[in-house]
Structure 1
Amino acid sequence: MNLFFQRSAVAVATWASLGAVWAQSQSGATPSAFTTPLQEVTITAQPLSNAGLAAPVQQLSGAALAQRQGSTLGETLDNLPGIANSSFGPNVGRPVIRGLDGDRLLILQNGGANMDVSGLSFDHAVPIDPLTTERIDVLRGPATLLYGSSAVGGLVNVIDNRIARERSFDATGGTLGKAELRAGGAAQERSTGAMVETGNDRWVLHVDAFDRSTRNLSVPKLMDCTVNGVTTTQRRVCNSASNAQGAGAGGTLLFDRGYLGLSASEYRSTYGTVAESDVTIGMLRRHQVMEGEWRDTADLLQALKFQWGHTRYSHTEYPGSATGTRFDNGGHELRLEAKPYAQRWANGMQLQGVLGVQREANELAVQGDEAFVPPSRTLSNAVFTHQVLSTGWGQLSAGARAESVAVRNQTTGVDKRFSPFSVAVGGMRNLRQGEAQNGWQLSSHLSWSQRAPKDYELFANGPHTATGTFEVGNANSALERATQWDVGGEWKYGPHKASVTGFVSDFANYLSLQATGSNDATHNLPIYAFEGVRARLVGMESSASLRMVGGSQALWSADASRGAMDLALRADFVRADDLTHNRPLPRIAPMRVGADWVWAHQAWGARFGFTHAGAQHRVPEAGDVTTAGYTLWNAGVNYQTRVANTRWLLFAKLDNLTNQLAYSSTSVLTQTMGSNAPPLAGRSVKLGLQASF
């Protein structure tokens, strides 16, 4: 799919959406015929209908997702309780959950493997754009074992609905869609995204596309930028511009007892690497999926589901006009899940579960001067189960996963084999009462996890520019082993809500990149080697929403004539220690607190508040860079209206109102670039328009 086709797909999808929106607006249909602008299909990482009560899940969708949406997945989720962004400039950002990042997190697309190389290096982007995303779910707890033992820190599932799992239309058929335009921000973003679905109760077709471009990021300080030997000073981050385009299509046949769907998508991106002023990365990912489900299978199973995915990923690093290091990764995944009928007993107890098998294979090839990992092949097979026992007082859940993992160094022929086994249990005690279900809900989860080392942790041997080191793997690495426990509670009283969770992750063998104290003579880089250490991460995350004005239970005033006003609060912190060497782990977010006044009245909504991050002085080495504390003030306003069967959403985001100079402690650039490390974005205004029908 070339650039012309991608831009054409964006234009066609956008005009199709806007044309359908105009037609709907002119149809004269009454507002009462309009139920929801987009049919929301539940495709979370949790296949059990009620098991979400026993799993801590954060979710973004609808207007909340539209207004939080950034150019990367990490930026979009940043500052949710317990989640930070491992920013490598404005174009690259993976989530950091409870202090864990990289391949200790799973990033899924519609419940399937993503198969990129973003966990391999900090400057590798996740090839998923939030513009074509319908919903993002963050999952922790026993249910993560359904998808992989690598989800020690958690799991992020990005949902685009290219395959329809449920009926969106009746027998007469119909069309729904969404078109979105964005402009502004600290990187002067210009983006367009669109989605259209059409069909009836027997078939559904889906098409989506996006086009996003940004310029160099505006920041609150002067930055040196050297291009072609000429150095200039500007208030922008050198080489931080980007262009990204993508498109996807899917078709689904819907049966009385299931569905069968196919989808294909392509993602292209060209972006500056920030750490090197003359290096850009050109990325291409093609992804195909087949998925189906058969329900009520001859009275044996409630559902039998399969999912097959195939991915071809490639990116090339270009120093100037030359061709540099190239990364190619490709593979497939096959999942088969069986969901037996729920077992019910006379006392009201119910047992419901899912079990399945999964096979994943991929090959990585790296060529060029900075090929710090050899070609490798990874094959894994797994069996898994997750069971939930529902009772009158709450729920108990348990999950288990057994894997066989083989990693082969294609250059030397060395094979490393691992057999990780993970198990987790959880419980939820419901103390809520009455029709309003006010009161407390308590939960706790305990897991024993094992993770097989990745190819780069085993076989790396070369210069890695993103970390400014010469990395050396450890082919004798054992399984990474962790014991994790969390306990928390959620309270609700009318419009008031609050939650708090404490957690501890204790690693008996944490695979960490450690300084050896020596330098590589050829590249003049410090040598870092992977080593298994004992580590512990302890932390807390909390949030609350209090109704201050509007309603009989408001804390200040019951007068709702001017709308409702809530006070939204959040806080989190993580303390992470390398117990073997008696020092902190690197790139950990400091304690963060935030508050927002949220106002809504009829079609209008507004938000004004701040996020404060404390200073981070806990760094591994005495000479490492620490980060000062900062406070970022932000605001937003939105207006929603309906014209016939069309919903229009206009919004504006105002970020870093005081133009505060701030640095991210979770970014490796803070350490590798010193005083020229890019700070967080400066003051900016972003405008958006979304139409959905």
Structure 2
Amino acid sequence: MLKYSPIALLISQILALPVYAQSQQAQETAEHQHEDTEVIVIKASPLARTELNSAQPVSVISGEELREKQAHTLGETLATEPGINSTHFARVASSPIIRGLDGPRVKITQNGLDTADVSRGSPDHAVTTETSVAQQIEILRGPATLLYGSGAIGGVVNVVDERIAQQPVGGQRGFFGGNLSSADDLRDFSAGISADVGSTVWHFDGFTRSSDDYATPTYVNDEGERLDEVENSFIDAQGGTLGASYLFEKGYAGISYSRLDQEYGIPGHHHEEEGHGEHEEEDAHGEEETGPYADLTQDRWQLHAGFQQPFDGIDKIELRYGYTDYQHQEIEGDVPGTTFTNEQHELRITANHQLTEQWFGAFGYHGFQQEQAAFGDEAFTPASETDRHGLFWLLETREQVLNYQLGVRYETVDITAPTLELGQHSYDFDPLSASFGVIYQWQPSVSLTANYSFAQRAPSANELFANGEHLATRTYELGLNYALHEEEEHHIVIEPTERRPEIETSHSLDLGAHVEEGGHHLNINLFVNRVNNFIYEDFTGFNSLDLSFEHEDAHDEHGDETHDDHAQEGEHEDEHDHEEGLAVVQYTQQDVLLFGYEIDGRWQFNPQWRLDAFSDYTRAYTVDNTRNLPRIPSQRIGADVTYNQGEWESSVGFIWYAEQTRTAMNESATPSYALVNAQFNWFPQAFSRYNLSLFVKGENLTDKLGYVHTSYLKNEAPVAGRNFSIGLRGEF
């Protein structure tokens, strides 16, 4: 019998000439092909979608795959997913970048509710989700504003855990794991358990993690020093969650409380006396003083409830409420320099219904109230209050060949800075979003998708009202609320703007193909995104030492914290080592275009050998003058070869990062590099009841020096050097 390679089989399926008609025999064939495929329901959608029946590109990481990729930060955990990169803030506070977009355009949620930290406003602020105790992580690429509001114009990352159970767990179940690594002397351990107690389910999980500064190949930083580690990149974190839910005949109701305490170094803040490079100095007792670090605490309450068929015509109603009290301080020399706080309430009510025999849907309300404040040396954004209220409606069909998915959301956004004295202190916006998608089952194993989204985003408080030093980005930031006027050389006046900030409007088109053939699969996604009135930081060419307010009284009111220090030489310059001041960046709005692709596939050659590969690419520039947007990731190609022999499994792979020469103003090109990794897993059958696995992993085995173009600390925090780790994972 003639045998074909897995690639030939996939190509033959794609190129088959007859258009597939869903016969009964073909249905059975398709069902058989997906028998061995684990179907994971996407919790981020109320319509029980999976990766295979979503017109919008979605991916889910769970189980053993999640445990292998788990890192301290969410950004590093997802950094090798197709279309996803990391801000790589020295591995201490890295956030996800989706198709070149990050910050306020990427929504980070925990069980569908906002994480309620301040990570969307600055790259050195940590995301407060914890992946070591997560059940799965869901990534929605492209606009996801219908459910999550205008802050999700670039995508959503939803971290799902089991803190509030919706059904019995079957007695009790739990997990445990831990690992040690060499590059940063990491010590990491996590565990959790859920148990049925009568009509209730109780859950507890916790983790502890600490690491030192991480080692790198020898590199030269911006100050000309030769280093072999990223100084002040330590981590000390711990947290826990307690949850309980009550189960009844037609639903559930539960509550959870979580606490997070974390300290981490803030590399790149050159807060030292003259000496240029002495990040650690000896105090009067001869002991080393640590550099600036963040001390973060978060208390979070969540309430979930669901009711089956509460009314005629309503299949299910689900309520989710979250309250978060967040604070972090940036400390230098044991003295808090800047404090950031956030108090946030969020409520989502969703009702599922069947509109007709073919159309199913969900509608609901989403409310969000946030009070953020910052005070101290680097409080570059004033205290602000943000209120959002949204109504949404999603609809879809569930046919066998052709399915449609559409939705609409209307939102009101009010943003106020009550203590602001220069410029307008309050803005209101009314974003509107809509989408239309289609899934076509072309062949039994081939589906084609198309999705168009019209999405709008209101500016964030930081983009509106920022006015001060931001040392994490080494700039002086000015929001859309202000304008600059050059009265004379070396004298720049900050004055209120006469132009009202506009809503960002995205027109996004996704085209995809998914092939599932036995143990093989292939995903191809092409995207193009035109964003009108895109908000970004533009270098003005001015220096922070030359800035002053339009009104002298306003200057006097705020000068001690934000302006007088820039006009004086002496203590401030000695403390921050900014003898030449900071470059002034102004939030501005222009039309931009982003396009690219994501491809990933798996080829199961036989029961022992498997190949996984991926590639992605993003191009982004302004429409009028084709100026490149800053920190856009370069093209990547990666592959892993895995050999499985029952009780053990080994793999070796690489990821190649192309040179990035399409740079924005004040950016330098980033050279290409490749990382080689390997892993060995042992699954001892004697402990099969615990699903126990022991692993040894080697990362960057060639000790390659690599700079991350998306990082604000590109030259200060390269990727980690050769690293070996050992650990275990288990369930019960």
TM-score (norm 2): 0.82
Partner of residue 26, structure 2: none
Q: How does 1:433-452 map to 2 (within 5 A)?
A: 433=444, 438=445, 440-452=446-458
Q: Deviations over 1:185-231 (max 9, x none)?
A: 422210110101111562100001100001111101156799xxxx9
Equivalent residue letter for 1:632: L
2:659 aligned with 1:615: yes
Partner of residue 589, structure 1: 633
Aligned-partner Cα distance in 1 for 2:221–2:594: 37
Aligned-partner Cα distance in 1 for 2:638–2:541: 40
Question: Where does the alignment leave 5 or more consecutive residues of structure 1 unmatched?
Answer: 1-38, 345-349, 551-562
How big is the shift at 1:147?
Answer: 1.6
2:534 aligned with 1:534: no
* Length, aligned pairs only: 618
Q: How does 1:385-424 map to 2 (within 5 A)?
A: 385-412=393-420, 414-424=425-435
Equivalent residue letter for 1:566: R
Q: Deviations over 1:316-340 (max 9, x none)?
A: 0012222101000111001111111
Partner of residue 520, structure 1: 544
Q: Does structure 1 conserve the Cα–Cα contact (< 8 Å) formed by 2:60 and 2:137?
A: yes
Q: How does 1:574-653 map to 2 (within 5 A)?
A: 574-621=618-665, 623-642=666-685, 643=687, 645-653=689-697
Q: Does structure 1 conserve the Cα–Cα contact (< 8 Å) formed by 2:213 and 2:231?
A: yes
Question: Where does the alignment leave 5 or more consecutive residues of structure 2 unmatched?
Answer: 1-37, 270-278, 280-290, 482-499, 546-564, 567-580
How big is the shift at 1:149?
Answer: 2.1
2:545 aligned with 1:502: no
SS of structure 2 residue aligned to 1:75: helix
Aligned-partner Cα distance in 2 for 1:681–1:110: 31
| 1:429–1:408 distance in 2 versus 1, CA, 3 Å | same
Q: RMSD of the TM alignment (CA)?
A: 2.0
2:476 aligned with 1:470: yes
Equivalent residue letter for 1:570: F
Q: Does structure 1 conserve the Cα–Cα contact (< 8 Å) formed by 2:634 and 2:660?
A: yes
How big is the shift at 1:235?
Answer: 1.7
| 1:583–1:644 distance in 2 versus 1, CA, 3 Å | closer
Aligned-partner Cα distance in 2 for 1:142–1:343: 27
2:462 aligned with 1:456: yes
Equivalent residue letter for 2:350: E
Aligned-partner Cα distance in 2 for 1:187–1:400: 47
How big is the shift at 1:42?
Answer: 4.8
Partner of residue 373, structure 1: 381
Aligned-partner Cα distance in 2 for 1:417–1:683: 50
Q: How does 1:25-36 map to 2 (within 5 A)?
A: none
| 1:201–1:644 distance in 2 versus 1, CA, 3 Å | farther
How big is the shift at 1:471?
Answer: 0.4
Equivalent residue letter for 1:628: P
2:249 aligned with 1:256: yes
| 1:233–1:626 distance in 2 versus 1, CA, 3 Å | closer
2:112 aligned with 1:119: no
Q: Does structure 2 conserve the Cα–Cα contact (< 8 Å) formed by 1:633 and 1:656?
A: yes
How big is the shift at 1:95?
Answer: 0.5
Aligned-partner Cα distance in 2 for 1:496–1:142: 29
How big is the shift at 1:234?
Answer: 4.7
Partner of residue 17, structure 1: none
| 1:567–1:645 distance in 2 versus 1, CA, 3 Å | closer
Q: Does structure 1 conserve the Cα–Cα contact (< 8 Å) formed by 2:116 and 2:324?
A: yes
Partner of residue 731, structure 2: 692
Q: Does structure 1 conserve the Cα–Cα contact (< 8 Å) formed by 2:651 and 2:680?
A: yes
Aligned-partner Cα distance in 1 for 2:622–2:122: 21
Aligned-partner Cα distance in 2 for 1:41–1:568: 20
Partner of residue 47, structure 1: 46
Equivalent residue letter for 2:46: P
How big is the shift at 1:296?
Answer: 1.3
Q: Does structure 1 conserve the Cα–Cα contact (< 8 Å) formed by 2:144 and 2:154?
A: no
Report the more deviating stretch, 312-321 or 412-421. 412-421
How big is the shift at 1:63?
Answer: 0.7
| 1:249–1:43 distance in 2 versus 1, CA, 3 Å | farther
How big is the shift at 1:464?
Answer: 0.5
2:213 aligned with 1:216: yes
Q: How does 1:130-141 map to 2 (within 5 A)?
A: 130-140=131-141
Aligned-partner Cα distance in 1 for 2:402–2:124: 44
Partner of residue 370, structure 2: 362
How big is the shift at 1:51?
Answer: 6.3
How big is the shift at 1:297?
Answer: 1.1
SS of structure 1 residue aligned to 2:683: strand
Q: Deviations over 1:223-254 (max 9, x none)?
A: 6799xxxx996521110111000011000001
Partner of residue 10, structure 1: none
SS of structure 1 residue aligned to 2:75: helix
Equivalent residue letter for 1:455: A
Aligned-partner Cα distance in 1 for 2:65–2:318: 31
Report the more deviating stretch, 140-149 or 450-459. 140-149
How big is the shift at 1:150?
Answer: 1.9
| 1:164–1:222 distance in 2 versus 1, CA, 3 Å | same
Q: 1:488 aligns with which of 487, 512, 525?
A: 512
Q: Does structure 2 conserve the Cα–Cα contact (< 8 Å) formed by 1:141 and 1:424?
A: no
How big is the shift at 1:602?
Answer: 1.1
Aligned-partner Cα distance in 2 for 1:618–1:217: 29
Q: Deviations over 1:626-669 (max 9, x none)?
A: 11000110111112235363221111221001000000001011
Partner of residue 431, structure 1: 442
Q: Does structure 2 conserve the Cα–Cα contact (< 8 Å) formed by 1:604 and 1:640?
A: yes
| 1:543–1:42 distance in 2 versus 1, CA, 3 Å | closer
How big is the shift at 1:351?
Answer: 1.2
Q: How does 1:77-476 map to 2 (within 5 A)?
A: 77-140=78-141, 144-169=145-170, 174-200=171-197, 202-222=199-219, 234-276=227-269, 277=279, 278-341=291-354, 343-344=356-357, 350-412=358-420, 414-433=425-444, 438=445, 440-475=446-481, 476=500
Equivalent residue letter for 1:72: T
Q: Deviations over 1:138-158 (max 9, x none)?
A: 123676511222212211000
Aligned-partner Cα distance in 1 for 2:265–2:610: 40
Q: Deviations over 1:544-568 (max 9, x none)?
A: 11122x2xxxxxxxxxxxx421111
Aligned-partner Cα distance in 2 for 1:394–1:649: 42
Percent of paired sites with the same residue: 33
| 1:518–1:234 distance in 2 versus 1, CA, 3 Å | closer
